[in-house]
Amino acid sequence: MTPCPFRFWMPALLAMFLGAISAHGADRHGLSAFDVLKYPADFKHFEWVNPNAPKGGRLALIGPAARTTFDNLNGFILKGDAAQGLDLLFDSLMTRSLDEPDAVYGLVAHSAELAPDRSSVMFRMRPGAKFADGTAITSADVVFSFDTLKTKGHPNIRGQLRDIASAMAIDAHTVRFDFTGALTRDLPLVAAGLPILSKAYYATREFDQTTLDPPLGSGPYKIGEFNQGSFISYRRREDYWGKDLPVNRGRFNFDEVRYLYYRDRSAELLALQAGEFDLREEFTAVAWVTGYDVPAVKAGKLLRLALPDESPSGAQGFFLNTRRPKLADARVRKALDYVFDFEFANKSIFHELYTRTESFFENSPMKATGKPSAEELALLEPFKASLPPDVFDEPYRPPVSDGSGKDRKLLQAADKLLNEAGWTVKNGARVNAKGEVFDLEFLIVDPTSERVLSNYVENLKRLGFAISIRRVDPAQYQRRVKSFDFDVVTARYSLRLTPGVELRSYWASETASMDGSLNLAGISNPVIDTLIGKVVASKSRAELEVAARALDRVLRAGHYWVPQWYKPIHHIAHWDRFSRPAIKPGYDRGIVDTWWYDAAKAEKLRSN
């Protein structure tokens, strides 16, 4: 999935005390959804950095989004395929701490004042903040950024800005955001994380058009060399205005960060082993287990790391496009889940490295388990007449097969569901009452997907489906996904530990027909809309978790996807020329942010 361009995304008693004071309108050095901050106002640096990390060297890597090309250096619009790493160019008013669920601390703004009723927030900006061309960042630039992104930005951005009514420049270095509606909990954080664009720069340029002209930013890097579809390089700015701020100390240590693009993962692996680049995250289990049996690994030159990930593990699966009439019936979608034999795939392809995904909030306290609690029932029972009965029992869990690859009991159960939905078998073909054959196309871009699909497709054909796998080039794939021109597509997205207004883009009715939204399944359900509102309106983390679990139950009962698998770790392979802090941030890989080039290791690697 396309990462959100906002960089701040993805309690001690003293912090709680400070939060309580700031809730009455005083200036605060940071913000969080529930007024709890880990770091005090006089903190020197985040604990997940090495404040004395040396600067220098290059990191060449494959980005986590695993793109195969790019044709645009504007990551804030729907058009085109944006290059990875563009967030390195832009500062925001505040920036996220990667070891807290949702806290942000002063960057361009040194402090914020939140209205007691949370109807507005005022940011006081540092006069020394500058764009890369040396011009000052002013409140007029912040207002321009908000107005532009809200009217011309990517639909996912516009959706998050919907309830921010306005931005107003109070003076050259003070800006106020006013909110509308009752769901204002996360809006100060959204405002704090807005990328700041230069008003003067865009006075002579069209913002909403694709471009390969490097944009003007204010962040720690600027664009260096690039070759469209091959690589893009970011050069560290020695003159970066914010390099000595507490939120930046020990961060952004590489002189150059270079993102590379290959046609597929197999080509990436061969290139890594040949030393063409430094690091990549391995997403293919068979490659992780068998693909690194090479001399460089045995000699300790090419290292493999398993970095723990405390964030929700993400919703990965085959997303079923309910906009298509043939996929509109939940019984059909449930049948498609019964046909997928995860246990067979995990054993025969993945070397049993994965666990089956069950929840949209997997690996987090927001995952629904057991029967609904009294608090969950209080949210669900007003909608009892319009919800499936199993919402009020154990949450739906994908079936466990016998691992044979063709579990007869599950195939029979799927056949029964399909028959109930009016799709019966005649002359070997699955047809409806009109005699129309149930054809199903899997849209893919990566050839490695075909290995996973092989057994699934075979079982679907046993049930009379007419199946096709359509592999397209990356540009066509992005166009088709953005316009929802698919039957089934594989995708993965991860939610924040404090999910908020962005949930609308994934599951709300208003985004079901919005091109470019993340609502791949086309979910349009008023109960889900209401429960999203409950999550966003939560006043405490306990209240949020209750609302999220209730939402999870309804989503899982809707069978909008065939869930796949997850692992709560990052598998990283890299050449041994880097060092990293003793503490990894809990909610991020921390590689580009906190690692550094180790000259001694690099020299040893060269000499050996």
Reported as a single tens digit per residue, the pLDDT across 317-350 is: 999 999 999 999 999 999 999 999 999 999 999 8
CA 306 – CA 590 distance, rounded (Å): 13
Residue 5 has pLDDT above 90, yes or no: no
**pLDDT tens per residue across span 389-440:** 999 999 999 999 999 999 999 999 999 999 999 999 999 999 999 999 999 9
**Which homologous superfamily does the CATH classification assign to the domain defined by 315-407+438-566?**
Dipeptide-binding Protein; Domain 3 (3.10.105.10)
> Exposed/middle/buried for 203, CB within 10 Å: 0-12, 13-18, 19+?
exposed
68 falls in which pLDDT band (50, 70, 90)? confident
What pLDDT shows up at residue 604?
95
Three-class SS string for 419-447? HHCCCEEECCEEECCCCCECEEEEEECCC
What pLDDT shows up at residue 10?
31
Q: CB under 8 Å to 402, separation ≥6 — which residues? A: 343, 409
What is the mean predicted confidence (pLDDT) over 500-506?
91
> Cα 222 vs. chain centroid, distance in angstroms?
24
What pLDDT shows up at residue 487?
98
Question: Taking the domains of the chain in order of start, what are their residue ranges?
Answer: 13-202, 315-407+438-566
Owner of token pair 């794939």: 477
Question: Alpha-carbon dihedral of residues 167, 96, 197, 42, nearest 10 degrees?
Answer: 80
What pLDDT shows up at residue 15?
34
Identify the bridge partners of residue 444 per DSSP, sorted by sequence position: 471
77 falls in which pLDDT band (50, 70, 90)? very high
Q: CB under 8 Å to 427, separation ≥6 — which residues? A: none
**pLDDT tens per residue across span 232-280:** 999 999 999 999 999 999 999 999 999 999 988 889 999 999 999 999 9
156 falls in which pLDDT band (50, 70, 90)? confident
Residue 2 has pLDDT above 80, yes or no: no
CA 278 – CA 30 distance, rounded (Å): 35
The H-or-E segment that residue 61 falls in is strand 58-61
Residue 294 has pLDDT above 90, yes or no: yes
22 falls in which pLDDT band (50, 70, 90)? very low
CA 159 – CA 226 distance, rounded (Å): 31
**Which homologous superfamily does the CATH classification assign to the domain defined by 13-202?**
Periplasmic binding protein-like II (3.40.190.10)
* Mean pLDDT value across the chain: 93
25 falls in which pLDDT band (50, 70, 90)? low
What percentage of the chain reaches a pLDDT higher than 70?
96
The model's pTM: 0.81
Same fold, 13-202 and 315-407+438-566: no
